[in-house]
Structure 1
Amino acid sequence: MIKKTVLITGASSGMGYAATQLFAQQGWQVYAGARRVNNIPVGTGIHPLSLDVTDDDSRKNFVQAAEKEATLDVLINNAGYGEYGPLEEVSLEKVRRQVETNLFGAAELTKLVLPRMRHQHTGRIVNISSLGGDMYSALGGWYHVTKHGLNVWSDVLDTEIRQFGLRSVVVEPGGTQSSWSDIAMGSIEKNVVPDTPYRSLIDGTLSVIQRVGSHSAATSADLAKVFYRAATDHKPKRRYYFSFSDRMMSRLARVHPGIFHQLIISMAARAAR
């Protein structure tokens, strides 16, 4: 029996780490890529590979390593991070890095696997976006731009590749019990200028996040199961969510944008007091 093959980016931590373990446990050949290759899980069927999704040679080497398998069944574009801070103060250099990682990296890796998948007449691209692709909040502007862009890019790709028996779908995680939020919030202080006029908004936002925490959020293992459904459903959905509440928050932002905007304005005003 031919084992299925999945390529997973951002496999050294969080959801990517958990997804690497889950797919391997299910008998898949897993090509797991990350810059910190030593942090990628090990085990039967797991092939840890160094991968910088912003580097052309690194992307090509990653895909070429997996092409020796009988099939390339799924690419999970999971690598990404949040560059947070006031839009006025985040440097263009960091903006470019954010877009190259969260959007362009996924697009270029996808271009590398599509010829093989098209030849097979089967294959799936699973793009790990965020509720932040439909929603938004103060201080997360450029992150939201990349995830909204990823959503639209995935939808357009899906319309183009269905004729070949392929699909492109989106997973939108909400709050997650991982280090992602701490890293993203930590980037705020690195992006603000001395005596920033946004200090009260920043401090208030960080205080709210610390109080609320992520105790009720999904675990990385929970989200890995959503990844697996998105990769294996016989009739894949356009969007995948962990919970009903995540789905409803996304719907609120899309269907009632005026109401959602007023909600975010109110939250920002309270944080800035």
Structure 2
Amino acid sequence: MEKQVVLVTGASSGMGRDFALRLLAEGYVVYGAARRAGRMQEIRDAGGFVLSMDVTDEASMAAGVDDIIRRHGRIDVLINSAGYGQYGALEDVPLDEARRQMEINLFGLARLTQICLPHMRSRKFGKIFNISSIAGRFAAPLGGWYHASKFALEAYSDTLRLETAPFGIDVVVIQPGGIQSEWADIAAEEAQRLSGRGVYAGLVAKLFKLQASQSKGSAPRVISDLIVKALKARKPKTRYHAGFMASPVLFLRSLLSDRMFDRMLMLALK
């Protein structure tokens, strides 16, 4: 049976890199894509292909997909993993930076999906994994624009699933909890940069204190396990979650009222 061809964005670090390496080990043909192509030598050494791709640059996305089709004639699996967390109080985050958050976490993902879909539809087969977050199910202080991007991604994914199912395409949402990566440090640095000195400085300090007191998160492998599980399932679930605090937070969000959940969050930041 011909090996399935996988495109993974955000493959230069964190979960994206782990997805690419894990699927290479599982026998897939893997293309790792990221802006920082020089940081993907490990993927190349493991037998994968490397693409320089920026999800805010349509030309680079189209060229990357064309390269895959030229070499292999197909894209079976798209893993939309590129993203970051724009933190800072909503009053302080410049709207240009908020727009960039939405562009990378949602609109770039959506455009790459549009480019890949005709190739999947023509073969009546495809699997699209959108890497959301448990932050797509609840909102916390200082992460407003990140939460907004993930809430939107959840709704986008639900509609995409309904529209593409008749063409043999599965859309799966992955909701990581806390995962070991550069993400948390970058988010905290952004919160400090934008809100660390103003009226929200106390909240930022509490965020740093909470971050320091907690585990750095689960290993990326727990999320890669979900990807492999869904790929091997005859009929994958629409959503999977794993990682530090993922299950308890999602359970409490479903159980508690808004006010009670607010109180729990603010107590955690005391």
User: What root-mean-square deviation, in Å, do the aligned CA atoms of Structure 1 and Structure 2 show?
Assistant: 1.7
1:180 Cα deviation (Å)? 1.2
Q: Return the TM-score normalized by structure 2.
A: 0.93
The alpha carbon displacement at 1:244 in A equals 9.7
Post-superposition shift, 1:70? 3.8
Q: Any gaps of 5 or more consecutive residues in structure 1?
A: none
Q: 1:171 aligns with which of 160, 169, 174?
A: 174
For residue 5 of structure 1, what is the aligned residue in structure 2?
5
| Contact 2:178-2:245 at 8 Å conserved across structures | no
1:64 aligns with one of 57, 63, 66: 66
Query: Are the aligned partners of 1:126 and 1:231 in contact in 2 as well (CA < 8 Å)?
Result: no
Q: Tell me the equivalent position of 1:46.
A: 48
Whether 1:219 aligns to 2:219 is yes
Change (3 A) 1:85 1:152: same
Aligned-residue offset at 1:232:
3.3
Question: C-alpha displacement at 1:190, in angstroms?
Answer: 2.1
Q: Aligned residues: percent identity?
A: 38
Are the aligned partners of 1:27 and 1:45 in contact in 2 as well (CA < 8 Å)? no
Partner of 1:256: 256
Which segment drifts farther, 172-181 or 205-214? Answer: 205-214
Match of 2:144 in 1: 141
What amino acid maps onto 1:2 in structure 2?
E
Alpha-carbon distance in 2 for matches of 1:120, 1:29: 17
**Cα displacement string for residues 159-194 of structure 1 (whole angstroms, at most 9, x for unaligned residues):** 11111111111000001122211111111122237x
What stretches of structure 2 of length at least 5 have no aligned partner? Answer: none
- 1:143/1:244 Cα in 2 relative to 1: closer, same or farther (>3 Å)? closer
Partner amino acid for 1:261?
A: D
Aligned to 1:157: 160
Q: Which residue of 1 aligns with 2:20?
A: 20
| Structure 1 CA distance for aligned equivalents of residues 102 and 96 of structure 2 | 10
Give TM-score, length-normalised by structure 1.
0.92
Change (3 A) 1:155 1:257: farther
For the structure 1 residues 198 and 10, does the alpha-carbon distance in structure 2 shift closer, same or farther, using more than 3 Å as the test? Answer: same
| Greater mean deviation of Cα atoms: 252-261 or 9-18 | 252-261
1:123-181 per-position Cα deviation (integer Å, ceiling 9, x unaligned): 01100000100022110110000011101100111011111111111000001122211
Matched, 1:35 2:35: yes
What is the CA distance between 1:243 and its match in structure 2? 5.6
Cα offset for 1:36?
0.7
Q: Residue 222 of structure 2 contacts residue 243 of structure 2 at CA under 8 Å; is this kept in 1?
A: no
Tell whether the 8 Å contact from 1:24 to 1:30 is kept in structure 2 after alignment: yes
What residue in structure 1 maps to residue 100 of structure 2?
97
Q: In the aligned structure 2, how far is the partner of 1:224 from the partner of 1:109?
A: 21
2:79 corresponds to 1:76: yes
Q: What residue in structure 2 maps to residue 205 of structure 1?
A: 207
Instruction: Name the CA distance, whole Å, in 1 between partners of 2:232 and 2:63.
Output: 26
